[in-house]
Structure 1
Amino acid sequence: MSDLHIRCATLSDINTLLQFWREAAEGTSISDDHDGVTRLITRDPEALLLAERDAILTGTVIAGFDGWRCSAYRLAVHPDHRRRGIATALLQAAEQRFAAVGGRRVDAMVLEVDEQAHHTWATRGYHREDHWRRRVKPL
């Protein structure tokens, strides 16, 4: 994994990122557009983490903090790069960010039908709260 580089997204990454999500993420959201991502990066420049290998975008996670709770969204790894520890590395980076800002709990949005994603989150210590349909982990 030494060739994997994780960094914060910049405004110049937006077009590449949106294309990546179309290919790698299971579905899209109403905020998956240039304006939505611009707002995210402008408001919290450290929230959107990108994983790159050989300068190619291989994974993403949004590690948001609203001052109260940490939230993880858009964990996605390109299909050609899955099962190589990228999601784990991204979650580790997100959790480091959360600890640095004083977060004490993480809520993760995970698609109900994505069993592989549920396994990934569970191996990192997140448990499912059925009444909210999310995965949570105390920090």
Structure 2
Amino acid sequence: MNDVLFRNARADEAAAILEFWGRAGENAARPSDDPGAVLRLVERDPEALIVAELGGRLVGTVIAGWDGWRANLYRLAVDPEVRGRGLGKQLLARAEERLRALGAERFCAMVLDENELGRAFWAARGYAPQDEWRRWVKAASW
């Protein structure tokens, strides 16, 4: 896929990114997304959301989040029409490169237990579940 353009997401793409995640991503067990959340991410860390474009169309995303201590990977998604061509690997390589340059010593990927395709992808890239930890969550709303 030599004709794929990799770049950072733009603030004006929030709605398109949400539409893409709705059809290409695993969205179970996740709070509802809204354009404001994407906009805040892009404004706070303009290089965190990496997108892939093919023929002017969004075909992949990954969020490479860095808080100065931990490197987290979220929302790795590839358009179902172009899966199996190495696009996910290319997105992940760019995300890892970014995080490594920022000082990351370990990468953490968020993968839903029921996401068989995602689990197989991450395992093939050398990632494994960490059994000693369990993610605890709480809604931030009052």
TM-score higher than 0.5 here?
Answer: yes
Match of 1:4 in 2: 4
Match of 2:26 in 1: 26
Kindly provide the CA deviation profile for residues 77-104 of structure 1, in whole angstroms up to 9, marking residues without a partner as x.
1111111111101000000101111111
Task: Could you tell me which runs of 5 or more consecutive residues in structure 2 were left unpaired when the two chains were aligned.
Answer: 136-142
Match of 1:92 in 2: 93
Give % identity: 49
Task: Could you tell me which runs of 5 or more consecutive residues in structure 1 were left unpaired when the two chains were aligned.
Answer: 135-139
Alignment of 1:91-130 (within 5 A): 91-130=92-131
Superposed CA RMSD in Å reads: 1.5
Q: Distance in 1 between matches of 2:117 and 2:131?
A: 17
Return the letter of the residue paired with 2:41.
L
Q: Distance in 2 between matches of 1:94 and 1:32?
A: 22
Higher strand share: 1
Deviation at 1:31, TM superposition (A): 5.8
Q: SS of the residue aligned with 1:51?
A: strand
Match of 1:71 in 2: 72
Return the letter of the residue paired with 1:37.
V
Q: SS of the residue aligned with 2:46?
A: coil
- Check the 8 A contact 1:70/1:107 in 2, yes or no: yes
Match of 1:137 in 2: none
